[in-house]
Amino acid sequence: MYLHDLLQRRDFGTAFAALAGAEQLPDWPRQGGTSTPAQRVALNGRTQWLVAACKPHDCPSERILLLFEESTHAMSGVFARRKPGVADDVDSNDQANDDLTWLGAPDEATKRLLLAKLYPSE
């Protein structure tokens, strides 16, 4: 399942629409963007969907990661946008090149997981 597919589900779509900070997002995340298959991850003893997507035809400039827990419909995430003035060809694996917008109310463990997925160490 991809972000586009999950957005078609009532539970996921409703959680996304109600997500604090989502009103600041560009249009492409609401349409699914370019995404990889959702993964199941364990966090704080719960299994959740991890969904990653990026701006079509310009992945380094804007990326989103969402965590969704089906049983509670809780959602949180992070949106990364390349800082103004940063060259297009810089390392997209360097957090210093992006402005981050936290979505929902992620706790510290959630933030660590999302950052580790957004900026994997080599």
This prediction's pTM: 0.93
Q: Residue 121: its pLDDT value, please? A: 77
pLDDT digits (tens, 9 = 90+) for 18-51: 999 999 999 999 999 999 999 999 998 899 999 9
What distance in Å separates the CA atoms of residue 6 and residue 100, rounded to the nearest whole number?
Answer: 23
Q: Residue 44: its pLDDT value, please? A: 85
What distance in Å separates the CA atoms of residue 93 and residue 113, rounded to the nearest whole number?
Answer: 15
Q: CA 91, 93, 96, 99 torsion: positive or negative?
A: positive
* Cα–Cα separations (whole angstroms), residue 64 to 40, 56, 71, 76, 86: 16, 12, 22, 11, 19
Domain 3-118 has CATH 3.40.1420.10: yes
pLDDT digits (tens, 9 = 90+) for 54-100: 999 998 899 999 999 999 999 999 999 999 988 877 777 888 999 99
Beta bridge partners of 34: 54
What distance in Å separates the CA atoms of residue 78 and residue 67, rounded to the nearest whole number?
Answer: 9
**Which of 89, 100, 11, 13 has the alpha carbon at shortest distance from 118?**
100
Phi-psi region of 28 (alpha: psi -120 to 50; beta: other; left: phi over 0): alpha
